[in-house]
């Protein structure tokens, strides 16, 4: 089964099981997960051909239709966004149907419809910002307040207390790595809106995908970019201020620079990337599996990581490691919406697994994916995805951002 069908299965299942919160959603994820492992092990990453355009059209149309069904916002205070978004989604559906009627010989009409669809995606995000000013989620509050505490108030964000978002839970934690504070600072301090960075990252990623996809099949390139922008949960992820749009953008930029043989610039981007989130720290290992020639340039990656991180470790090592490492092991409760092995076993067999299982299984699959990784960019992307997939599926909690990680190998498999 190729990436296209797996992606289609995922987005349909995602909506049908109420954002995969239904327990049978975890079984669907298991099927997809082991299919990805088979693709990697057998090196069955398919090249794109013109005959697959119909599959891409199907994925695009299904994505937009599911965007009508899936509740894109949990933090809206007004019904305006829902009304506007519904109108825009129906407009997009009609344009996609029109788009499928033209071929590469009618490039003028293809481009005209493509730009209209891009404009619709842009409008959806603009209305999102205007109707969701302060979402009640700890991620948004921390991204907004952490730069303020560091650069204006002179406080260590890993020691600070943030505005409370959840009852009976003291907001005395900051779980991201220091790169987040630096990158979001201009947007939080100047514009008072950290999600602007995520908005820009999402938009620019589409442009880079255009260059990565090549020009052999123009229609394919347009559809891939539209699939990226009309992912049925992209708006929800953007509103919640999750980092995945920025992570996806950084990975795309990294691959783009590698393709241009700009290894040191790529390593600089990678250094910023791994200073965002703990789960990305293994990324350089997967890169070295492609070729040891990147070893020297990766030294720069770790220099940047240490430069950004070390001051906070020196400032208060206990608080830093408590927030970024030990917080997760000391708060191992399974989310009621998490699709994890632990929740599946607990609800079906009424058993609680030992904590080390949640770390052991992702580690095993990460090692296997590393062993099976081939010396090519597509294989690197897939093997790293499997390690991330394992972390969410077999770890302590599985979140909606899993779907964002699935965008990357799907898109690159067709376009890189």
Which one is predicted more confidently, 305 or 345?
A: 305
The predicted structure's pLDDT at residue 24: 64
Which of the four pLDDT bands, split at 50, 70 and 90, describes residue 20? Answer: very low
Give the per-residue SS3 of 254-318: HHHHHHCCCHHHHHHHHHHHHCCCHHHCCHHHHHHHHCHHHHHHHHHHHHHHHHHHHHHHHHCHH
Of 103, 97, 100, 73, nearest to 85 by C-alpha is 73
Q: What's the CA gap between 316 and 257, in Å, rounded? A: 36
Q: Looking at the predicted structure, is the pLDDT value of residue 197 above 90?
A: yes
The stretch 191-202 carries a mean pLDDT of 94
One DSSP character per residue, 137-186 reads: -HHHHHHHHHHIIIIIS---TTT--PPP-STT-------S-HHHHHHHHH
The predicted structure's pLDDT at residue 178: 96
Residue found by looking up tokens 């599946």 in the block: 344
Q: What's the CA gap between 392 and 386, in Å, rounded? A: 10
Separate counts of helices (H) and strands (E) for the chain: 20, 0
Name the strand (E) or helix (H) holding 136: none
**Residues 289-301: pLDDT tens digits?**
877 778 888 899 9
CB count, 10 Å around CB of 277?
18
DSSP assignment letter at 323: I
Q: Looking at the predicted structure, is the pLDDT value of residue 39 above 60?
A: yes
**Residues 331-371: pLDDT tens digits?**
555 555 555 666 667 767 777 777 777 778 888 998 999 88
Min mean pLDDT across 139-143, 150-154, 276-280, 390-394 is at 390-394
Q: What's the CA gap between 150 and 142, in Å, rounded? A: 12
Which of the four pLDDT bands, split at 50, 70 and 90, describes residue 261? Answer: confident
Which of the four pLDDT bands, split at 50, 70 and 90, describes residue 416? Answer: very low
Q: Give me the chain's average pLDDT, please.
A: 81
**Residues 367-406: pLDDT tens digits?**
999 888 887 777 888 888 888 888 877 776 655 556 666 6
Min mean pLDDT across 101-105, 255-259, 327-331 is at 101-105
């Amino acid at each position: 089964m190729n990436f296209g069908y797996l992606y289609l299965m995922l987005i349909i299942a995602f909506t049908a099981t109420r954002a995969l919160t239904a327990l049978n959603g975890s079984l669907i994820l298991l099927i997809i997960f082991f299919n990805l492992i088979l693709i990697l092990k057998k090196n069955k990453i398919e090249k794109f051909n013109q005959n697959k355009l119909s599959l891409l059209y199907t994925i695009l149309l299904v994505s937009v239709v599911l965007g009508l069904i899936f509740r894109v916002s949990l933090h809206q205070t007004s019904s305006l966004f829902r009304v506007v978004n519904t109108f825009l989604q129906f407009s997009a559906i009609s344009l996609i149907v029109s788009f499928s009627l033209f071929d590469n010989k009618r490039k003028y009409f293809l481009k005209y419809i493509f730009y209209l669809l891009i404009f619709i995606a842009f409008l959806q995000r603009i209305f999102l910002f205007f109707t969701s000013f302060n979402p009640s989620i700890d991620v948004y509050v921390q991204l907004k307040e952490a730069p303020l505490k560091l650069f204006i108030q002179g406080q260590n964000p890993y020691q600070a207390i943030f505005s409370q978002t959840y009852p009976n839970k003291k907001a005395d934690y900051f779980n991201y790595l220091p790169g987040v504070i630096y990158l979001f600072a201009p947007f939080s301090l100047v514009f008072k809106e950290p999600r602007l960075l995520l908005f820009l990252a999402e938009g620019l990623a589409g442009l880079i995908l255009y260059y990565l996809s090549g020009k052999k099949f123009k229609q394919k390139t347009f559809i891939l970019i539209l699939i990226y922008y009309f992912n049925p949960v992209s708006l929800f992820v953007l509103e919640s201020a999750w980092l995945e749009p920025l992570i996806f953008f950084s990975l795309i930029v990294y691959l783009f620079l590698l393709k241009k043989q700009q290894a040191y610039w790529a390593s600089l981007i990678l250094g910023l990337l791994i200073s965002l989130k703990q789960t990305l720290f293994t990324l350089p290992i997967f890169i070295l599996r492609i070729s040891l020639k990147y070893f020297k340039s990766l030294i720069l990656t770790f220099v940047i990581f240490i430069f950004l991180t070390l001051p906070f470790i020196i400032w208060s090592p206990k608080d830093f490691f408590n927030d970024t490492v030990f917080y997760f092991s000391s708060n191992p409760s399974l989310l009621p919406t998490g699709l994890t092995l632990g929740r599946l076993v607990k609800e079906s067999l009424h058993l609680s697994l030992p904590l080390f299982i949640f770390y052991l299984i992702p580690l095993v699959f990460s090692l296997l994916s590393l062993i099976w990784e081939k010396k090519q960019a597509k294989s690197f992307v897939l093997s790293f995805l499997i390690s991330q997939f394992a972390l969410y599926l077999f770890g302590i909690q599985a979140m909606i951002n899993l779907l964002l990680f699935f965008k990357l190998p799907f898109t690159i498999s067709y376009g890189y």
